[in-house]
Amino acid sequence: MNKSDIIRQLLAGRSREPGAQGAAYAPANIALCKYWGKRDEELNLPVTSSLSLSLGSLGAHTEVSACDGPDRVQLDGRELPPDSPFAKRLSAYLDLFRENHGFDVRTESSVPVAAGLASSASGFAALVLALNDLYGWELDRTALSILARLGSGSACRSIFQGFVEWHAGSRPDGMDSYAEPLQAEWPDLRLGLLELSTAEKAVGSRAGMKNTVETSALYSAWPEKVADDLLDLHTAIKERDFERLGRAAESNALSMHATMFSAWPPLCYWLPESVHAMRAIWRLRNDGLPLYFTMDAGPNLKLLFLDADRARVASHFPAMRVVESNERGMS
Ligand code: PMV
């Protein structure tokens, strides 16, 4: 089973003729329970389910149209060299849809690139929604989530706002592996982006996951850990139990990084500054401040706290950028 087979199935009976232009927006998302490890490399099928929070108005606006000649990819007004990794990934994805023409893709990202947020999730989700518009497919959200997953796993969650769960599914064709929004809101919940380094990472998440699944002795414990954390997160969100949410999210992120440390060659995305910030958070928590963090495949931290504690958290982390609840589209 490859990507083209899935796309043929999803687009059966739908137009292959692009209209004049398609445009769409998709938010970035931060996982509270991580996706780490694939059961199918080609279709981006995960070993476990995952749960995230979308970032409202922090995301990607994309316009796409068909053009003569090769693809042109613009990011924030700058044309990317065709051989840059992002342009190459987009073109390979667009190969799945094109018929003898190029695509002109223009993306404006409101995600602070410096905050180390993966741009691929919002980027691929916005591209899929823009293609849906360009071709007039009128696909439902489940099909759009599956299409986004084929571009980048975590992009399937960026089709929705708020809390979102990506169901791992078990089918070999992945038709049951898509994201769905939770019917839950939490207007006081805040997420703070703590930028510690903007350097390009040496190992991307795709290669990092593969190496971890193949070589880490701790990886076999990961699916059970995820199952426990997902249960905890569901209860915490339902009951608005912040300490429970924070503990599950932080412990999940640290466990994911533990699987990387125990891989070979070892993988460590942390910088001394990351550890310094973690220790400060643990100290503040011991002193009674309900503050937790999560981390992805990079050195930056995402802080979790309640609005009532915002001033105290900001006084310790003045460089933090807080995602507003209206930015999350949740209140
Ligand atoms: O979708 P990818 O290949 O960018 O992988 C994302 C992996 C993590 O960000 C580390 C975890 C997650 O669930 O977003």
Residue 174: CATH number of its domain: 3.30.230.10
213 and 90 inside one domain = no
Q: Is the beta carbon of 147 within 6 A of some atom in ligand 1?
A: no
Is residue 236 within 8 A of residue 245, CB to CB? The reply is: yes
Residue 46 in any domain: the answer is yes
Positive or negative, the CA dihedral 222, 226, 229, 231 is negative
The residue among 153, 181, 209 that closes a domain is 181
Q: Tell me the two tokens of residue 137.
A: 């497919």
Residue 249 inside a domain? The answer is: yes
Ligand 1 contact via 284 beta carbon (within 6 Å): no
Q: Are 172 and 279 in contact (CB under 8 A)?
A: no
What residue ranges of the chain have pLDDT lower than 50?
Answer: 329-331
Ligand 1 center–CA 296 separation, angstroms: 7
Q: Is residue 166 part of a domain?
A: yes
Atom 9 of ligand 1, residue of closest alpha carbon: 296
Range of the domain at 128: 3-181
Q: Is 133 in the pocket of ligand 1 (CB under 6 A)?
A: no
Q: Which atom of ligand 1 is nearest to the CA of 30?
A: 14
**Which numbered atom of ligand 1 lies nearest the CA of 206?**
3
What's the gap in Å between 177 CA and the centre of ligand 1?
15
Which of 59, 58, 90 has the alpha carbon at shortest distance from 74?
A: 90
Please indicate, yes or no, if residue 282 is contained in any of the structural domains.
yes
What sections of the chain are H helices per DSSP?
3-10, 85-94, 119-135, 141-151, 205-215, 222-239, 242-261, 272-286, 310-316
212 lines ligand 1 (CB under 6 A): no
pLDDT of residue 331: 35
State how far the Cα of 46 lies from the Cα of 38, in Å rounded to an integer. 4
How many other C-beta atoms are found inside a 10 Å radius of the C-beta of residue 68? 8
Residue 153 CA: nearest ligand 1 atom is 1
Same domain, 143 and 208: no
Tell me the sheet residues that pair with 191. 304, 323
230 in a structural domain:
yes
Q: Is the Cβ–Cβ distance between 3 and 11 less than 8 Å? A: no
CA 154 to ligand 1: nearest atom? 1
Number of domains within the chain: 2
d(Cα 299, Cα 287) in Å, to the nearest integer?
Answer: 25
Residues 287 and 210 in one domain: yes
Among 114, 34, 108, 54, residue whose Cα is nearest residue 323: 54
Residue-level pLDDT at 276: 98
154: Cβ below 6 Å to ligand 1? yes
Q: Is residue 330 part of a domain?
A: no
Q: Is the CB of 48 under 6 A from ligand 1?
A: no
Nearest-angstrom CA–CA distance, 298 and 271? 9
pLDDT at 282: 98
Distance 101 CA to ligand 1 centre (A): 31
- Judgement on whether residues 230 and 135 belong to the same structural domain of the protein: no
Residues 149 and 241 in one domain: no
Say whether both 16 and 163 belong to one domain.
Answer: yes
In a domain, 245, yes or no: yes
Most informative mutation of 29, 34, 43 for ligand 1 (most atoms within 8 A of CB): 34
| Cβ contact 118:86 at 8 Å | no
Please work out whether the CB of residue 255 comes within 6 Å of at least one atom of ligand 1.
no
Measure 331 CA to ligand 1 centroid, in angstroms: 26
Last residue of one domain, picked from the residues 159, 181, 203: 181
CA pseudo-torsion sign 250, 256, 262, 263? negative
pLDDT at 327: 58
> What local confidence, expressed as pLDDT, does residue 112 receive?
66
Atom number in ligand 1 closest to CA 33: 13
User: Tell me, what's the pLDDT at 191?
Assistant: 96
- CA 305 to ligand 1 center in whole angstroms: 22
Angle at 21 between CA 16 and CA 27, to 5 degrees: 100
Q: Is residue 214 part of a domain?
A: yes
243 and 277 share a domain?
yes
Looking at the fold, whether 159 and 24 belong to one and the same domain comes out as yes
Question: 31 CB under 6 A from ligand 1?
Answer: yes
Say yes or no: CB of residue 165 within 6 Å of ligand 1. no
**pTM value > 0.85:** yes
Instruction: Judge whether 53 and 29 are in contact, CB under 8 Å.
Output: yes
- Whether 171 and 316 map to the same domain: the answer is no
CATH assignment of the domain containing 288: 3.30.70.890
Query: Given the DSSP bridges, would you call strands 189-194 and 163-166 parallel, antiparallel or unpaired?
Result: unpaired
**Whether residue 194 is found in the same domain as residue 177:** no
Which residue's CA is minimally distant from atom 6 of ligand 1?
A: 154
Residue at which a domain ends, from 181, 200, 235 = 181
Please report, in angstroms and rounded to a whole number, the separation of the first and last CA atoms in the chain: 42
Same domain for 170 and 50: yes
Within this chain, do residues 169 and 81 fall inside the same structural domain, yes or no?
yes
